[in-house]
Amino acid sequence: MKKVLTYYLKPYYGRMTLGFFIKFLGTVMDLFLPWILAYIIDSVIPLGDRGMIYFYGLVMVVCSIGAFAMNVIANRMASAVSRDATRTIRHDLYARIMHLSAAQTDEVTKPSLISRLTTDTYNINNMLGRVQRLGVRAPILTIGGILITLTLDPVLTLILIATLPFIVYITVHISKVSIPLYLRVQDASDKLVRLVREDAAGIRVIKALSKTDVERARFDEVSREVIQTEKKASGMMARVGPLTGLILNSAQVAVIVAGAARVAMGQCEVGRILAFMTYFTIILNAVVNISKMFVVFSRAAASADRVMAIIDMPVEMRALPQAQTRACEEAPAIAFDHVTFRYGKSGEATLTDIDFTLERGQTLGILGDTGSGKSTLIRLLMRFYDPDEGTVRLFGQDVRTMDNETLRARFGVTFQSDTLFEDSIAENIRLGRPFTDEEVMQAARDAQAYSFVVGDKQGFASALNVRGNNLSGGQKQRVMIARALCGHPDILILDDSSSALDYRTDAKLRAALREHYEKTTKVLVAQRISSVAHADLILVLSGGRILARGTHEELLASCELYQELYASQMGGLAQ
């Protein structure tokens, strides 16, 4: 929270001071209204001078309008400041999220990042607005109100003052207890968002396997957790209002009883008692507002901590100083040098002793069961993670010494969980990179996407739905392959991309790769032998280790698993 106040609000200190000043004037005017009323009743009316009565009446009207106008202006300024400051916070948070390392994203989880970017920044915005709107007004109303009531009737004011410590104790104590509760509410709703996202993404399979009841039960459980933590937190906060109300109302009764006695004894006038009661209400409202401000503040403090925890995360995966390694034309395109890697820093290694080289323009095939570490190998190659042991080199240079932009610009890639965006087909292929229309079309041709794209009336300008849901699985895959091919990258990675393609299209794609992407080094991750049979080097992965390596012929001759796979897949093909 400190950073929000001292860093993000700093540029607005000037505007805030002006806003506070306007608010101050408006509040002071508000504060004097009951006092003028008391003066009219007790001092002006008894004189019977109509002119004076009208004059003070007019003063009251001017004060009311002035107070209203100034409050509106100050509130608008406050909203502008909180909106602008929150925008900067959200912007910084977004930029930081985009540059988190894959390990950091794993640690925080995506739904939590989303709720930090949405709910938490909203809470901060809400707090900044409210504190500016009430932070000056409520204390002035409370303190100024007490000062004026002191001039009206010091004895009655004592009753009022005696009640305030109780109210302050209640608000401060309860908000202290509530901060950790709100943190738990936020964590629970992160979990809920995670589940909803998962279910929404997998709604078809959930329905197809009649798992709706199971999912509903899972949802109910998480939802109950949210409700229970929220209930605890809001139950705690809900005590503030009634408790302060109870105390203030009791005090008000005491004031009325004591006030009536004092009027009867001739120690005080009726107008003063009337004004006193009005101040009492004003002070009551102000104190309740201060307590509400504590609620908003405690929520926002928890949110600010969650947001700043991300913004202040250390930058990982920086490029190391270029020691001995530099990119060099003759070096192999890809070299894994005894690489071992584990997700998290404990547990079993996901990849163990991966060691191979691939020359420029060659094709690498990676085969293996699901979970054998194929995608992880790609992630290390693109430096989403750093290996625990060994080195990954690209054109002779340790990938850790390359800055991420330069490194990733050399790749064209489709991942297993890739997605299409709600945009035109051309833009989905181009993805913000400076490729010409001709390059985009060529990529589509090579990816075997051209015919179905131009078959549509709008061709490359056709709009895709969210995630490309208006295309078939195979069509989506082809657009994504076109995206990877676009601009003839140095290294092309197709991670299980041909799985949704029929054999004929897959073969055509392979032919196009051979013909037009001679210089491109290709890495093909596949389940099907036919997709990698032509590769210069095939790695068979099992349990994160290289079980066997060689060309198709070599593996057929030597690797039992490969022979089995071949027999089953070729059998399937023949049928």
Q: Which stretch binds ligand ADP (CB under 6 A): 269-277, 305-313, 367-375, 442-450?
A: 367-375
Contacting residue, 32, 219, 343, 566, with ligand ADP by CB under 6 A: 343
3-state DSSP call for residue 256? helix
Q: Smallest distance from the beta carbon of 92 to ligand ADP, in angstroms?
A: 25
Question: According to the binding rule CB under 6 A, does residue 370 interact with ligand ADP?
Answer: yes
Contacting residue, 371, 419, 436, 470, with ligand ADP by CB under 6 A: 371
Tell me 120's DSSP state. I
416 residue type, one letter? Q
Q: Which stretch binds ligand ADP (CB under 6 A): 178-186, 248-256, 369-377, 455-463?
A: 369-377
Contact 310, 97 (CB under 8 A): yes
Q: Which stretch binds ligand ADP (CB under 6 A): 21-29, 60-68, 177-185, 365-373?
A: 365-373
- CB-nearer residue toward ligand ADP: 122 or 343: 343
Helix or strand (DSSP H, E) at 45: none
**φ, ψ (nearest 5 deg) of residue 422:** -75, 80
Backbone conformation region of residue 543, classed left if phi is above 0, alpha if psi is from -120 to 50, else beta:
left
Q: Smallest distance from the beta carbon of 571 to ligand ADP, in angstroms?
A: 23
Helix or strand (DSSP H, E) at 163: helix 154-201
Question: According to the binding rule CB under 6 A, does residue 368 interact with ligand ADP?
Answer: yes
Smallest Cα–Cα separation from 128: which of 287, 309, 303, 300? 300
Question: According to the binding rule CB under 6 A, does residue 104 interact with ligand ADP?
Answer: no
3-state DSSP call for residue 50? helix
- CB-nearer residue toward ligand ADP: 112 or 375: 375
Instruction: At 156, list the tokens.
Output: 């009655």
Question: According to the binding rule CB under 6 A, does residue 374 interact with ligand ADP?
Answer: yes
- CB-nearer residue toward ligand ADP: 273 or 526: 526
Q: Smallest distance from the beta carbon of 368 to ligand ADP, in angstroms?
A: 5
Question: According to the binding rule CB under 6 A, does residue 375 interact with ligand ADP?
Answer: yes
Question: According to the binding rule CB under 6 A, does residue 372 interact with ligand ADP?
Answer: yes
What is the spatial distance between Cα 382 and Cα 372, in angstroms, rounded to a whole number?
18
Contact 477, 501 (CB under 8 A): yes
Sign of the torsion angle spanned by Cα atoms 379, 383, 389, 394: positive
Question: According to the binding rule CB under 6 A, does residue 498 interact with ligand ADP?
Answer: no
Q: Smallest distance from the beta carbon of 498 to ligand ADP, in angstroms?
A: 15
Contacting residue, 244, 376, 428, 521, with ligand ADP by CB under 6 A: 376
- CB-nearer residue toward ligand ADP: 234 or 569: 569
547 residue type, one letter? L
Question: According to the binding rule CB under 6 A, does residue 373 interact with ligand ADP?
Answer: yes
What number of H helices and E strands is found in the chain? 22, 10
Q: Smallest distance from the beta carbon of 374 to ligand ADP, in angstroms?
A: 4
- What per-residue string of b and e applies to 495-531 under the rule 16 or more CB within 10 Å gives b? bbbbbbbeeebbbebbebbeeebeebbbbbbbbbbbb
Contacting residue, 119, 157, 350, 521, with ligand ADP by CB under 6 A: 350
Question: According to the binding rule CB under 6 A, does residue 11 interact with ligand ADP?
Answer: no
The residues that touch ligand ADP, with contacts defined as CB under 6 A, are: 106, 343, 350, 368, 370-376
